């Protein structure tokens, strides 16, 4: 099945919102990691979201270091391969800070506009603008501007209020003030009032979540913030204004905390740190166990079948796919594909 179109993507998000499950949104940096996600979603009979960050996109472009080109390359790969799988896949770009909008987000929106003018499908289904470091009024002003342009091309915009702690993709918020880690009900109402009349959007509201992975007990999540925010939105604007929410920094969260967020409207959870580890772990194991085969040492020639990248990368892909399937299960999405349930 090709990458989901706008109507299908909306159906995916609405289905999750109604039935209180969420889609794993997995960051990819290569065709190999993208392939792992596609297989996992297919095995789990779940639709899902493949996403690319600015750093991941730059990496995918190799020594060219062109984040726009890398994002386009990965998206085109997914468009081609998705047709071989019987689940719906959406393409999304992750955290784009205000300083990178002109050199990352705007060119990708323009690329979709060019494609649509030729009768081709959208390159990406949704983009994230991360204006969380800006004052709320500036964040909303810029979000409105981007959303008005996105809506014309049936692109859903994800925005963020508050700051996700920790470090990811070169952006470090480990020293962020505690109050910035929690979105207020007033923030959520302001976003709903500003963006709701324009079109479809998602909100990454922060409730103490942190990028990276930490030992149990080190991250102080307050999912009740999402509950209270939704209640404020409903009181101010009505039941239909309830926001479809995104959970960032989910690695290391307890299953109870994850499930509680689903009750309050989380329909997308970003997963990156855990899948990075899952991809790398079997590679390390393989090299440690086959040291003499993968290296040409002491005059020996090694073993081609061991140092052939296809040998160990298959192990990496399989391990990452298993971790993605676990994320699907944790988010109650197993067997929920719209295609499998049609």
User: What are the residue numbers of the active site?
Assistant: 94
| 89 C-beta neighbours (distance < 10 Å), count | 28
Which two tokens mark 254? Answer: 């307890």
Identify whether the C-beta of residue 253 lies closer than 8 Å to the C-beta of residue 271.
no
Identify whether the C-beta of residue 167 lies closer than 8 Å to the C-beta of residue 146.
no
Query: Cα dihedral angle (185, 190, 191, 194), rounded to 10 degrees?
Result: 160
Distance CA 29, CA 39 (A): 16
The DSSP element (H or E) to which 13 belongs, if any, is helix 6-19
Which two tokens mark 84? Answer: 């071989």
The string over 288-305, giving b where at least 16 C-beta atoms fall within 10 Å of a residue's C-beta and e elsewhere, is eebeebbeeeeeeeeeee
């Amino acid at each position: 099945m090709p990458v989901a179109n706008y109507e299908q993507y909306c159906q995916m998000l609405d289905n999750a919102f109604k039935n209180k499950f969420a889609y794993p949104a997995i960051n990819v940096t290569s065709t190999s990691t993208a392939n792992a996600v596609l297989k996992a979603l297919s095995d789990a009979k779940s639709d899902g979201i493949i996403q690319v960050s600015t750093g991941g996109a730059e990496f995918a472009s190799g020594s060219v270091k062109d984040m726009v080109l890398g994002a386009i390359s990965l998206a085109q790969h997914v468009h081609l391969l998705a047709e071989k799988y019987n689940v719906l896949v959406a393409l999304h770009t992750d955290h784009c800070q205000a300083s990178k909008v002109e050199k990352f987000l705007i060119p990708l929106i323009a690329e979709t506009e060019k494609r649509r003018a030729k009768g081709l499908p959208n390159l990406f289904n949704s983009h994230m603008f991360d204006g969380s470091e800006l004052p709320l009024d500036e964040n909303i002003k810029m979000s409105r501007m981007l959303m008005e342009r996105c809506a014309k091309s049936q692109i859903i915009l994800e925005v963020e209020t508050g700051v996700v702690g920790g470090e990811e993709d070169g952006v470090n918020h480990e020293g962020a003030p505690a109050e910035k880690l929690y979105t207020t009900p007033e923030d959520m109402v302001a976003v709903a009032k500003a963006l709701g009349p324009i079109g479809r959007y998602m909100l990454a509201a922060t409730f103490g979540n942190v990028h990276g992975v930490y030992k149990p007990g080190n991250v102080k999540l307050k999912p009740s913030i999402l509950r209270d925010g939704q209640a404020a939105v409903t009181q101010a604007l009505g039941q239909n204004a309830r926001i479809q929410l995104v959970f960032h920094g989910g690695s290391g969260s307890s299953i109870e905390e994850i499930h509680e967020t689903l009750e309050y409207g989380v329909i997308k959870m970003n997963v990156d740190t855990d899948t990075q580890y899952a991809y790398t772990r079997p590679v390390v194991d393989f090299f440690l166990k086959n040291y003499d085969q993968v290296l040409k040492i002491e005059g020996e020639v090694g073993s081609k079948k061991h140092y052939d990248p296809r040998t160990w990368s298959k192990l990496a892909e399989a391990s990452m796919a298993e971790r993605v399937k676990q994320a699907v299960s944790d988010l109650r999405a197993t067997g929920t594909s719209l295609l499998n349930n049609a």
